[in-house]
Amino acid sequence: MCLENRPEKPAVIVSVNPKSGATSRSQLIDDVQQKLTDAGFEPLILSSIDEVYAQSKRLNETGELSAVVAAGGDGTVSLLANTLEQGIPLAIFPLGTENLLAKYLGLTADPNGLVSLLKHGREKKLDAGRANGKLFLVMASCGFDACVVEKLHSKRKGHISHLSYLRPILSTIRRYRYPKLKITIEDGQETLSGSWLFLFNVSRYAMNLPIVPEADPCDGQLNMCSFRQGGTLRGIFYLATVLLKKHRQWCTTEFRKFRKMRVTCDDPNASVPFQLDGDPGGHLPLEIETVTDYLTVLVH
């Protein structure tokens, strides 16, 4: 749907995550505010998620709200999806380290492009995943990489870059024991075992690794890729096969499309983390389900 019929001076909430990305983007946000004002919008720049919720609810009820802009990374978009009332249009202004959803949708951190998106963009409905009650939009994972994410965020105090992951990766390589995951699909229709588990709503992963390139956020299902064997050397092997796009050829790799899944670990001494859209999500057990047509985003 085209967004031409709006109030004379429609309001736009810009939800800013000041820690997103490798450096401060305060000047870019100032440019966004000026461009929106010049284009006839009423911009409201907020960094408190509680304020974003309160103001979006108020302005949406009065019909003044055009959209909420997620000025941050994938975690910011996910946080807004979990906070905003369903149906409020979300525009993504990518300022994070990876910006996987923005890349999938073809969006960039260009103030003029944002103005064009808000003026002429169309609404697109995307599915979401729900993990232990929390929504995610891009992907979830259990095991090694979730442990890396957990270590990184436990020490994080400000901006991060790709290099910020080096120390937690090395620490996880030394200490992670690769406990076996029990993966139960569609309420027990199938049970699998794996040491690495990746779940996708969108066909994107860090550094554009093509793990499940066919994942589609509009098909009402999530996509799974699991690798059965653990260990650092096996992990390097799996990474190489993904880079070469040969990982489907091995019998230790499993792929499924699903709507519901439960993930547990039978080792009582193991505390296995999971991550959602690049942020720590908690520890197993994990209940996953698809939520169809949940998020409304603006696209060109």
| Average per-residue pLDDT for the chain | 93
Q: Where in the chain is the domain with CATH 3.40.50.10330?
A: 11-120
Instruction: Return d(Cα 53, Cα 253) in angstroms, integer.
Output: 42
The tens digit of pLDDT for each residue in 220-259 reads 999 999 999 999 999 999 999 999 999 999 999 999 999 9
Q: Tell me which DSSP letter residue 246 carries.
A: -
> How much is the pLDDT for 5?
53
Instruction: Return d(Cα 95, Cα 208) in angstroms, integer.
Output: 17
Instruction: Return d(Cα 174, Cα 171) in angstroms, integer.
Output: 5
Residue range 11-120 forms a domain whose CATH class is alpha beta
Given pLDDT bands bounded at 50, 70 and 90, which one contains residue 162?
confident
The tens digit of pLDDT for each residue in 138-160 reads 999 999 999 999 999 887 777 77
Cα Rg, the chain, nearest whole Å: 20
Instruction: Return d(Cα 229, Cα 239) in angstroms, integer.
Output: 13
pTM greater than 0.75: yes
Q: Where in the chain is the domain with CATH 2.60.200.40?
A: 134-291
Q: Do strands 11-16 and 65-72 pair parallel, antiparallel, or not at all (unpaired)?
A: parallel
The tens digit of pLDDT for each residue in 86-109 reads 999 999 999 998 999 999 999 999
Instruction: Return d(Cα 271, Cα 279) in angstroms, integer.
Output: 17
Fold of 134-291: Tumour Suppressor Smad4 (2.60.200)
Instruction: Return d(Cα 80, Cα 134) in angstroms, integer.
Output: 12
The SS3 call for residue 45 is strand
Angle at 96 between CA 102 and CA 107, to 5 degrees: 20
DSSP 136-167: ESSEEEESHHHHHHHHHHHH--S---GGGGHH
Instruction: Return d(Cα 286, Cα 292) in angstroms, integer.
Output: 19
Angle at 17 between CA 125 and CA 96, to 5 degrees: 70
Q: How remote is the C-alpha of 130 from its chain's centroid?
A: 12
